[in-house]
Copies of this chain bind each other. A is one copy, B any other.
Amino acid sequence: MITSSAPGKVYLFGEHAVVYGEPAVPCAIERRATVHVESREDDRIRVEANDLSLDGFTVTYGENPDEANVDVPGDLVEAATGYVNGAVEQARDAADAPSAGFNVEIESEIPLGAGLGSSAAVVVAGIDAATRELGVELSADELAERAYRVEHEVQEGQASRADTFCSAMGGAVRVEGDDCARIDDPPELPFVVGYDGEAGNTGKLVAGVRERREQYGFAADTVEAIGDLVRQGRRALRDDDVAQLGELMDFNHGLLSALGVSSRSLETMVWAARDAGARGAKLTGAGGGGCIVALDETTSTRLALEYTPGCEAAFRAELDTEGVRRE
């Protein structure tokens, strides 16, 4: 049996604006999806997914996803199955073994559907483990590329390269259009994540920003301001200026809020974090619900979030400089 893991991610800066070619900085976090893969005698796939979340729900399903024993929405299960099937197909293709069968077991510390890149981590780790089980080693770059193809297909063309690249390579990443690169020597980033247990509708949120941007010049300018803020953020990363990174996170959050992608619970968590002394806090990902990320090297923000109504889970998740990893 072969085991690989890959990290989830948060957006330090730039979600939504990245859709319009502005730069963004996703960062891998020390929360991983782990995938165990074992070849089968036949050509079938058996998937067992345990503990796909930090808190509150579990998915277990066998050969027939319809019989899954779950307390999560069906579309998440369907998506998860789609990601695993896609990863297996990529592995079969890479190893030129079109009829290879596998038993796949998934464990994840990354809340599902929370904008932390859980699917990208499962796909990256899954392709890595399955190809290695077939005796083939792919570079992190190729894993990122193949994982992106899977996400692109499952998410019907809406996927960004950021999640899969970030999960495969680890560290802080500079994304601009289809161009992804690791940022050298980022400072330690003491991320704290707060999760409201909800999931915004990414497609609708992205469409809402597009509509505002087309309707109003000042909304288009707001998207561009995010891009400029991200460029400043990259300088602050290079200068190890964690205080400025926090300030820029706060500013970025306000611009996202102006674009209509915040929510009451996200705002509540962001302000709980700031009041607790976080250097900065913002929503991360598509918004509308899901997660916030704060910077705090102390335990105050996590504790404050744990006592914040509407925050279902709060955890530390430092920058993970390692991407996909053999376990």
Contacts and interface: CB of A to CB of B under 8 A. Distances in A.
A175 interface: no
Given A254-B254, A258-B254, A221 B221 contact: yes
Interface stretch (A113-121, A131-139, A192-200, A261-269): A261-269
A299 B272 CA distance: 29
Interface in A154-173: none
Contact of A218 (B229, B256, B260): B229
A251 B219 contact: yes
Interface string A238-267: 000000000000111111111110111001
Interface in A259-310: 259-260, 262-264, 267-268, 271-272, 274-275
How many copies of this protein are present in the complex? 2
Interface residues of A, number: 33
Contacts of A224: 221
A228 interface: yes
A259 B254 CA distance: 8
Q: Name, among A225, A256, A259, A271, the residue most crowded by chain B CB atoms within 10 Å (CB to CB).
A: A225
Nearest to A257: B254
A53 interface: no
B216 A232 contact: yes
A223 to B, nearest CB: 10
A18 to B, nearest CB: 15
A217 interface: yes
A222 interface: yes
A272 B257 CA distance: 15
A253 B219 CA distance: 13
Contacts of A212: 251
A229 B274 CA distance: 28
Contacts of A257: 253-254, 257-258
A31 to B, nearest CB: 27
Nearest to A227: B218
Contact of A221 (B225, B259, B260, B267): B225
Which 5 pairs from chain A and chain B are nearest by CB? Answer: A254-B258, A254-B257, A218-B228, A264-B271, A218-B225
Interface of A: 212, 216-219, 221-222, 224-226, 228-229, 232, 250-260, 262-264, 267-268, 271-272, 274-275
